Structure 1
Amino acid sequence: MLKILHSSGTVWGAFFLGVGGILASSAMAFSASNASLIYVWEGFSQVCTPLSFCLLLDSVSLWFLSTVNVIAGSVLLFSVYYMEGEKFYVRFISILMMFVASMALLIGSPGILSIFLGWDGLGVTSFLLVIYFYSDKSLNAGLLTLLTNRLGDIFLLMGVSMVWSSFGGELTSMAGSGFGLYATGSVLFLASMTKSAQIPFSAWLPAAMAAPTPVSALVHSSTLVTAGLYLLIRFSGGLEDSVFWEWGLFFSPLTLLAASFSSLMEMDMKKIVALSTLSQLGLISMTISVQAFGPAFFHLIMHAYFKALLFILMGFWIHQSASYQDLRFASINSSSFSLSVMVTLLALMSLMGVPYFSGFYSKDSVLESLSSLSSIGVVSYGFLVLGCVLTAVYSLRLFKILLGFEEGGMAVGNWSEKSKIFFLSGVLLSCFEVSGGKLMGSYVCGEFFLWVFPLELKILLSSIVVLGVVLSCLFLSFSGNPVLLGNLGFLWGLSFLSFPYTTKSFLTLGSKFESVDMMWLGQLSFRSSVNIVLTGSKGLGSGSLISYKLFSGFYLLGGGVVSMLIWGGGGVFTS
């Protein structure tokens, strides 16, 4: 049995970086030749509907897999620095690797069954990572994350059963098949909304910042939160004429504005970065809703790199501030950390969309693609531009308050800039966020990257950053009614509505269904397998995992089985 040593973070980090480099080279070759490969393994065809495992290699899957591997490698290297001396570091690395494996299964396989397994694996492992620090805050955040993701699992399981009964077990078979069925499209769209934290499912993402910072850098910037958007891109072939794109044009601008305004009032540095992730998810979802998949995917990839770097830097600054995350107590004298300040500024400039950074190329492609389409209204496009302006406002606010420009800070510089492992991960991601947009744009974005737009439009869109800088200076000097400004925060009340009221209702419902679960689960499977699951849950330690068994809901699986039997009908099993 392979024994994972405490130094495995460095070894596995180097491994993932190497795999990411190989996948990136393959992605460039596949993009240049517009090629794709599908490997299929099919089994059980003599017993029931064939269960197939598919491996799809094309430019989209390879670029996304390379991004996940590069960020996972950088985060593992950073975790060696950040979690030095952690007692349960081996368990942390193990759960993190299971999460990456689930993400790879979701990305690389177009099979319905493997997509669901990867999707569900993301939900379980993300819950375990959020509650890694055993505290009331972590448990509350973990339960909110868990329940929201389990709701998405219900929708996806219902969609899987509908798709399987109509098109079989391969996702690729739905392209051009008239897949715009109202019920099926509804549940798939709702499933993607829960994972990508679109309104009204947005509250779990800021709450999940109770997880360790390396988890946030991987899980809550580029993987878990983008799984729903990736699902929409992959399912887009069957939803071409669907009305659900109009839903996206309604909910995504609301998510963009709610997260942007909340970032203006938030004082927790990690939550500001999380809210900026939420606003960018709204931007990407809005781009997908007008079916501009190339620019949307390009911004998804570029955003993953500079947002992972921002989370890593926030972890560094939290340590420098004696574990303070509140900006009112964590101001730092920037003259003591010149290199870290420069990297932080570069990451924020990429987030703002300053010209010639990776964020500029991807965000500019999004703005230009939407301006050339007639399917988006003036109001929606105005919300989009306003969200981009507010991105510059809260980015500069974070930089100014954090790095010692405000009085009253209690800086405690207890770590140095001499950690080679930490700066290896930071410098690597910095290379992507500085030059990745120019080098990767034509490969990731496709033909749209070569389109030519009028100079006036280029200047107008580039002036968004300048307007954001001006508004940021005015906002920081504004001393108006704090109650009025405070109403802009807290995701417009979703944070209060989501916990504890909504979560308590689900927990109560889950506890009532537990006895019913044990009745039907024992009938549909071996009693010994049920006992193994329950014993394993208790053996993992922590009452939180037992709560997972009680509240995540075997009843959700039961509903999915019943749904699959109904939709599959009598033709699923053959003699």
Structure 2
Amino acid sequence: MYMLFSLNLFFISLLMFSLSLISYNKNYSLFLEWEMFSMNSMEFTYILLFDWFSFIFMATVMLISSMVILYSYSYMMEDCNKIRFLYLVVLFVASMMLMIISPNLFSILLGWDGLGLVSFCLVIYFQNIKAYNAGMLTILSNRVGDIFLLLLLGWCLNLGTWNLFIYCNYLNIINLKIMGILLILISITKSAQIPFSAWLPAAMAAPTPVSALVHSSTLVTAGVYLLIRFFELMKISLVLNYLLLLGILTMFMSGLSAVCEFDFKKIIALSTLSQLGLMMSTLGMGLKVLSGFHLLTHAFFKALLFLCAGVLIHSFYNFQDIRYMGGFLKYVPIIYSCFIVSNLSLMGMFFLSGFYSKDLILEMMSIGNLNFVIYVLFYICILFTVVYSFRLFFMSFLNYNNFFTLMMFHEEDYFMLIGIFVLTSMSVFMGSVLKWLLNYTVNFIYLYKFMKLMVIYMLLLGLLITLILLNNYYKLKKFFLLFYFNNYMWFLSMMSVYLMNYYFLLSGQKIIKLFDMGWIEVFFKMSLLNIFSVIMKYLMIMQKNSVKIFLMIFIMFIFFSIMFVL
């Protein structure tokens, strides 16, 4: 079944990619509307939109999903519920498809809720305490976005339609501003921007193939895709500055936290958070096309990064602490090659897929009319990307052997390697292919020589800072409070858990203690038990005595009968 689903998704992705090129060249889009029923002046319609961007994003999601399912065939081989896992992953992809082709809030709600609920089932898949806590945090954070989506649905109910493409032309600025702010609040919960960032690293409790799918092209990119789809409404409503601020803060916070993190998968999760902040801040600058370009290129190398991480974690008997790793280079050379490709693409190394989108974004930001603080923060975030990427790579592969005595280093089987090889080729070539085929380019960019070479300076400075950090780690750890401040994501994870989970669960425990196990138990349960016990006691005494009496009467009856007969 894994092979069947993987092949089907792969061929459908090729078909979608061909359709995207045709629709882009012919400037063709298909708008399907099905009116289910109408109530007063409000029409309940289900709308589907097929244009070049929805086609190419569906092709990206299906290609990555096909490789992840093929990889999962080996990864979940010894799992008891692997068929259930497959159905959940397919349902997850189907929910994302519904989300992509829906321009209407009513039809978006189906895919949006499907993503939230299925992601909860996948996060708690391993059924332990850590997974349950992470799943609770994930579902509650996503539910906040669902509340704002329902508020936007109610707001649009007064305006006559749920199709947000129509509103750009005839609404006043107050209505548009309210809708724009609600759209931002909807998107930042699903894309884990500040202050809803804590659930994204917590969702690492899910299996690694699910993490590859979630962090590359499905759940966390849904918020960015929604903003790209309704960008014209956001632009007119004049709320893009808020988005720029949130994106920059998220980039800075996640990059700083990743530098202090030791969990292998959490470092990659925080790098996803940083890239999502980059996409959001790019949208905040008004660069819709470049944000969509980075959304597509990021999907391939981030999925590859997680699949390589899954192989390393399997070789390490499920250890994820990078302090116990090192010396992988001579044991897993194929995975090493693929991992370095994905890592360099994440850093924006020249002529890999991440370079084409990140370099354009940085140069457009440099010529834009922005604050100097935002300009500096952008390049500091790029510096953090280099630092945590090279630190992860060094401590996993180039460091001295720091693992246990009994280890089983091995390249995984062909099913895993096929998926990894396909995503490696995509991470190398897809940036240039998309740039040339879809004309993602800018006619003229003029910069000073120092500003043009700023990316190279940041790369070299990042390597230098990483070497200093690795050689003087124990000295730097003396900054105890600063270390924990960054390691806990500016205490966002603690605030999210304690504010969203802890006090609700504590109040529930007190209610159970005071009512269910307290006065209610005394007045109802114990009193009824006592009454029934007394009644049953007397009934038993009566029953016991009456049986004795009946038996004596019967014996005496027999005795007297025999006497009279004789």
TM-score range, shorter chain: 0.7 to 0.9
1:110 maps onto 2:103 in alignment? yes
When residues 49 and 398 of structure 1 are mapped into structure 2, their CA distance, relative to the original with a 3 A threshold, is same
Larger RCO (alpha carbons 8 Å, 6+ apart): 1
Residue range with higher mean Cα deviation, 289-298 or 475-484: 475-484
Bigger Rg over Cα: 2
1: CA distance between counterparts of 2:337 and 2:406?
19
1:172 maps onto 2:165 in alignment? yes
1:122 maps onto 2:115 in alignment? yes
Q: Residues 286-435 of structure 1 correspond to what in structure 2 (within 5 A)?
A: 286-374=281-369, 376-410=370-404, 413-414=407-408, 416-417=410-411, 419-435=413-429
Q: Residues 34-53 of structure 1 correspond to what in structure 2 (within 5 A)?
A: 34-45=27-38, 49-53=42-46
> Which consecutive unaligned segments of at least 5 residues does structure 2 have?
512-566
* Alignment-mate amino acid for residue 263 of structure 1: A
Residue range with higher mean Cα deviation, 243-252 or 221-230: 243-252
1:209 maps onto 2:197 in alignment? no
Asked if structure 1 preserves the Cα contact closer than 8 Å seen for 2:311 and 2:411, the reply is: no
Post-superposition offset of 1:454: 4.6
2: CA distance between counterparts of 1:309 and 1:95?
21
Correspondence for 2:563: none
Post-superposition offset of 1:162: 1.2
Correspondence for 1:548: none
1:279 maps onto 2:279 in alignment? no
Given the alignment, which residue of 235, 239, 246 partners 1:240?
235
When residues 293 and 179 of structure 1 are mapped into structure 2, their CA distance, relative to the original with a 3 A threshold, is farther
Asked if structure 2 preserves the Cα contact closer than 8 Å seen for 1:178 and 1:238, the reply is: no
Asked if structure 2 preserves the Cα contact closer than 8 Å seen for 1:400 and 1:406, the reply is: no
Asked if structure 1 preserves the Cα contact closer than 8 Å seen for 2:42 and 2:160, the reply is: no
2: CA distance between counterparts of 1:399 and 1:93?
31
Asked if structure 2 preserves the Cα contact closer than 8 Å seen for 1:261 and 1:390, the reply is: yes
1: CA distance between counterparts of 2:406 and 2:322?
13
Given the alignment, which residue of 179, 186, 208 partners 2:181?
186
1:262 maps onto 2:257 in alignment? yes
Asked if structure 1 preserves the Cα contact closer than 8 Å seen for 2:301 and 2:342, the reply is: yes
Say how many residue pairs are matched.
504
Asked if structure 1 preserves the Cα contact closer than 8 Å seen for 2:250 and 2:273, the reply is: yes
**Structure 1 residue ranges (4+ consecutive) displaced by more than 4 angstroms after TM superposition:** 449-455, 506-513
Q: Identity of paired residues, percent?
A: 37
Asked if structure 2 preserves the Cα contact closer than 8 Å seen for 1:332 and 1:411, the reply is: no
Asked if structure 2 preserves the Cα contact closer than 8 Å seen for 1:147 and 1:506, the reply is: no
When residues 405 and 111 of structure 1 are mapped into structure 2, their CA distance, relative to the original with a 3 A threshold, is same
Post-superposition offset of 1:449: 4.5
When residues 406 and 163 of structure 1 are mapped into structure 2, their CA distance, relative to the original with a 3 A threshold, is farther
Asked if structure 2 preserves the Cα contact closer than 8 Å seen for 1:130 and 1:211, the reply is: yes
Correspondence for 1:528: none
Report the 3-state secondary structure (helix = DSSP H, G, I; strand = E; otherwise coil) of the residue aligned with 1:133.
Answer: coil
> Which consecutive unaligned segments of at least 5 residues does structure 1 have?
1-7, 514-575
Q: Residues 124-143 of structure 1 correspond to what in structure 2 (within 5 A)?
A: 124-143=117-136
- TM-score, normalization by structure 2: 0.85
Correspondence for 1:492: 490
Post-superposition offset of 1:447: 5.2
Correspondence for 2:441: 448
* Alignment-mate amino acid for residue 255 of structure 1: T
When residues 129 and 177 of structure 1 are mapped into structure 2, their CA distance, relative to the original with a 3 A threshold, is farther
* Alignment-mate amino acid for residue 392 of structure 2: L
Report the 3-state secondary structure (helix = DSSP H, G, I; strand = E; otherwise coil) of the residue aligned with 1:201.
Answer: coil
Q: What's the RMSD between the two structures over aligned residues?
A: 2.2
Asked if structure 2 preserves the Cα contact closer than 8 Å seen for 1:40 and 1:52, the reply is: yes
Asked if structure 1 preserves the Cα contact closer than 8 Å seen for 2:17 and 2:55, the reply is: yes
Given the alignment, which residue of 453, 461, 471 partners 1:467?
461
Asked if structure 1 preserves the Cα contact closer than 8 Å seen for 2:43 and 2:160, the reply is: no
Report the 3-state secondary structure (helix = DSSP H, G, I; strand = E; otherwise coil) of the residue aligned with 2:408.
Answer: coil
Given the alignment, which residue of 44, 47, 58 partners 1:54?
47
Q: Residues 553-564 of structure 1 correspond to what in structure 2 (within 5 A)?
A: none
2: CA distance between counterparts of 1:512 and 1:44?
47
Post-superposition offset of 1:49: 2.8
2: CA distance between counterparts of 1:106 and 1:118?
5
2: CA distance between counterparts of 1:46 and 1:151?
28
Can you list the C-alpha shifts for 1:478-521, whole angstroms capped at 9, x where unaligned? 232314251332111112211134323455789999xxxxxxxx
